[in-house]
Amino acid sequence: MNRKNFYLFLCILGIVLPYSQFIPWLVENGLNAPLFFHQLFANRISGFFVWDVLVSAVVAVEFIRLEGKRCGMRLLWLPILGILSVGVSCGLPLFLFLRERALEETGVAAAKS
């Protein structure tokens, strides 16, 4: 499996696994924001992971903006939307997939391999 397809696989996994937990919760509890945030920060360990993911999301968005601009990439809004709608597990691999595709189009990826 080449890098581009591996990143696409990780993006799909990054959608399926988080939503496999979120959708049943949503079906059971509905759009109950207070309960969502209460459970999200239920203890120090879950709070640790929440803050880790939030900081990672901010870093990822900035990386996508800067690296995407440097590489002259299009569709940079797509991985940012992935981060906002699913999380870093979707948006970062999607960006890396798009970057590999852009590098292939410019011939840079072939020169590095």
Distance CA 60, CA 66 (A): 10
Tokens linked to 93: 């691999």
Q: Which residue has the tokens 């990439």?
A: 73
Indicate the pTM of the whole model: 0.89
Q: State the residue range of the domain holding 76.
A: 3-112
Average pLDDT of the chain? 94
Q: DSSP letter string over 37-61?
A: HHHHTSSHHHHHHHHHHHHHHHHHH
User: Greatest CA span in the chain, whole angstroms?
Assistant: 52
Domain count, the chain: 1
**pLDDT tens-digit map of 37-79:** 999 999 999 999 999 999 999 999 999 999 999 999 999 999 9
Q: What is the pLDDT at residue 109? A: 58
Residue type, 4: K
| Whether the predicted pLDDT of 113 surpasses 90 | no
